[in-house]
A and B are shown apart, each in its own frame.
Chain A
Amino acid sequence: MSKIEVSNIYKIFGPRAEQVLPMVKGGASKEKVMEETGHTVGLDNVSLSIEEGEIFVCMGLSGSGKSTLIRHINRLIDPTAGEVLVNNVDVCSLDEKEILDFRKKTMSMVFQRFGLFPHKTIIENVAYGLEIQEMPEDQRLEIAQGQISAVGLDGFEHQYPAQLSGGMQQRVGLARALATDPEILLMDEAFSALDPLIRSEMQNQLVDLQAKLKKTIVFITHDLDESLKLGDHIGILNGGRLVQVGKPEDIILNPADDYVKAFVKDVNRSKVLRARTIMTKLEKFDKSSVNPSTLYKYDEDTYIEDLVPKVLKERSTIEVIDKEGTTTGFITSEELSVALTKTK
């Protein structure tokens, strides 16, 4: 069973959402619904499942419904129709008190503009989730101190958020989310407000943390490079509809429609595709033409960015091996040029 199971979610914003629902279910477009009823379609029949311990990236332009979607998981927004299962429990069936308990224990959230409490110090901010759980003060400050160290903000505990730079503030946001030790981490465009260098640094920090913590992370972004870098799976939203879900390679090599195609057009493929994905399989490869002196062995998980100089400059051939060292396939300049230019 998946950690989070979203099935057939519809969200319509407006005073008579229930009455407009059949029209949306009938397949009317977002524009048509807006024109005829004045209601905004936020999500239109979205279903997806997110596995435990993975980073699921939800990508789309602004207005595509990605922020709406993430808020359904902790029910900051109620769906018009459909259900959201977390740990096999229907989130919408919880009553007022249960939903508060569920938010306290199961998940926490990181926000685009950080959402820090300006009137609390950094350490009080980080301890907020524990304060809500009514943990004694000395205990929660101790945990918060640990989280502050984990994100590298020692010495800033007693400053106020306004005194910190954007990148540091978002680290506080991350520390605050991790302090409650949630199973699920919801990150709503968490790095979008940061400048590129800091953003990439934060992405690396998240990847490192995730390697240790193995949380289930739902990450929202409008940046394809970010989603390819972080995501185990990526879901692409357009106008409230989920147009494609898949691994990063799938999205690049087999874009589902023109919208996704436009998205992946400018991507640096060599940083996303791995040797395994583009190689010609052992049994299909004609080995006779290979010069053994220019044959190099590479692991199948290597990004092809690392192979390009070898193959193109030295005209060598790459022998792709798996974890046990068995040969699984080969890459020559031919495979490489196909992978870097065309979709399958």
Chain B
Amino acid sequence: MIKKFLTYFTFPIIFVWLLVVSYNSSKRKPDSVMELITDPSWLYDWPKWLDIPLMKWINDGFKVFNEKYGIYFEVINDFLLGAILSLKKFLIVLPWPVVIALVVAIVFFSSGRKLGTTVFVGICTFFIGFLHPKFWDKAIETTSIMIIGILICIIIGIPLGIAMSRNTKVRNAILPVLDLMQTIPSFCYLIPGIMLFGLGAVPAIIATVIYAVPPLVRLTDLGITLVDTEVIEAAEAFGASKKQKLLGVQLPLALPNIMQGINQCTMMALAMVVIASMIGTRGLGDEVLLGLQQLNVGKATEAGLAIVLLAIVLDRITQAYGKKIQDRNRPPK
């Protein structure tokens, strides 16, 4: 009863309050309210005073927020930057043949020793540097940002997906947030990112996480929800606790879907890299941007190709691993 009362009355009250506030704060409101009745011209064109001062609120709020909590963001900034730099340094110090060998070895074992995929990925990796010697270090820079970004996605995304699958209320609360994250243009969160973390790799990681985490959350949730109810019941009937059920049955069976989520996450993160170059993130993306600025078709195409190659390499690695699990987990006929 009280809940219904609240929904019926609070929303209209908030709406009216917003109208009054926007009217009062507007500089172009008529001299008196009476004018609205005597001069109905405001009904033809959208009146200047009918305007929520959202921009002002957000800007003021953000300013205060930045002043008060900016120091915490610096800590996060230092930590992430340190992680990226050390990963990058490690990969750049290694001789390039060693890196290629490393990639080949990872693919070989994660794909279940499939020779075709391994050779293909090895050639793709070689071609990144082969396209332009400058690309090798840039690709490593991009990959470092992505690896850190994807790790953060996994740390946030999988527990969130699990929470969603367990509780309808949590799901109903998180779903609109995911929709928001997927539809809001990336520049909208790149700007506050720059203001909090400055230009460079860290806001790019934040943007990457916002952009790439939704599919992982959704697919984790879906994967767990899709696990055969009879299998879950079987675990329950033997007295499995929630934790035993989750770790022993639900997660292993949802793993193909979760791997698909990580794969999607990787692809979206890579797409974000090009956009992030506009806020000064170094990597393959800024070559594309440079090509665009100089109207150099060849340069932009070369850099674009390098990104595609990098995408193929990362996609094969994550796909191959997911497929291997899926083959084993094929449900009983």
Judge whether B236 is part of the interface by a CB distance below 8 angstroms: yes
Q: How far is the CA of A162 from the CA of B333 in the complex (A)?
A: 6
Judge whether A108 is part of the interface by a CB distance below 8 angstroms: yes
Judge whether B239 is part of the interface by a CB distance below 8 angstroms: yes
Judge whether B328 is part of the interface by a CB distance below 8 angstroms: yes
Cβ-defined contact, A169 with B332, below 8 A: yes
Which residues of chain A have C-beta atoms less than 8 A from B233's C-beta? 76, 109, 111, 115
Q: Which residue of A lies closest to B333 (CB)?
A: A162
Cβ-defined contact, A132 with B240, below 8 A: yes
Q: Which of B225-240 contact A (CB under 8 A)?
A: 228, 230-231, 233-240
Most buried by B among A104, A112, A117, A161: A117
Contact of B230 among A108, A111, A160, A162 (CB under 8 A): A111
B side interface size, CB within 8 A: 23
A117 in contact with B249 given A162-B331, A162-B333 (CB within 8 Å): yes
Judge whether B25 is part of the interface by a CB distance below 8 angstroms: no
Stretch at the interface among A95-103, A225-233, A298-306: A95-103
Q: Which residue of B lies closest to A113 (CB)?
A: B230
Q: Which of A78-118 contact B (CB under 8 A)?
A: 99-105, 107-109, 111-118
Which residues of chain B have C-beta atoms less than 8 A from A103's C-beta? 236-239
Q: How far is the CA of A191 from the CA of B331 in the complex (A)?
A: 19
Judge whether B196 is part of the interface by a CB distance below 8 angstroms: no
Judge whether B329 is part of the interface by a CB distance below 8 angstroms: yes
Judge whether B204 is part of the interface by a CB distance below 8 angstroms: no
Cβ-defined contact, B238 with A116, below 8 A: no
Cβ-defined contact, B230 with A115, below 8 A: yes
* Chain B nearest Cβ from A200, distance in angstroms: 21
Which residues of chain B have C-beta atoms less than 8 A from A113's C-beta? 228, 230, 332
Majority secondary structure of chain B interface residues (helix, strand, loop or mixed): helix
B256-269: CB near A (< 8 Å → 1, else 0) gives 00000000000000
Q: How far is the CA of A118 from the CA of B254 in the complex (A)?
A: 11
A109-137: CB near B (< 8 Å → 1, else 0) gives 10111111111000000001101110000
* Chain B nearest Cβ from A289, distance in angstroms: 59
Q: Which residue of B lies closest to A114 (CB)?
A: B332
Which residues of chain A have C-beta atoms less than 8 A from B249's C-beta? 117
Q: How far is the CA of A161 from the CA of B331 in the complex (A)?
A: 8
Q: How far is the CA of A222 from the CA of B241 in the complex (A)?
A: 32
B38-64: CB near A (< 8 Å → 1, else 0) gives 000000000000000000000000000
A166 in contact with B230 given A101-B239, A132-B238 (CB within 8 Å): no
A166 in contact with B239 given A115-B231, A119-B253 (CB within 8 Å): no
- Residues of B participating in the A interface, judged by any CB pair closer than 8 Å: 228, 230-231, 233-241, 244, 248-249, 252-253, 328-333
- Residues of A participating in the B interface, judged by any CB pair closer than 8 Å: 74, 76, 99-105, 107-109, 111-119, 128-129, 131-133, 160-162, 164, 166, 169, 180, 186
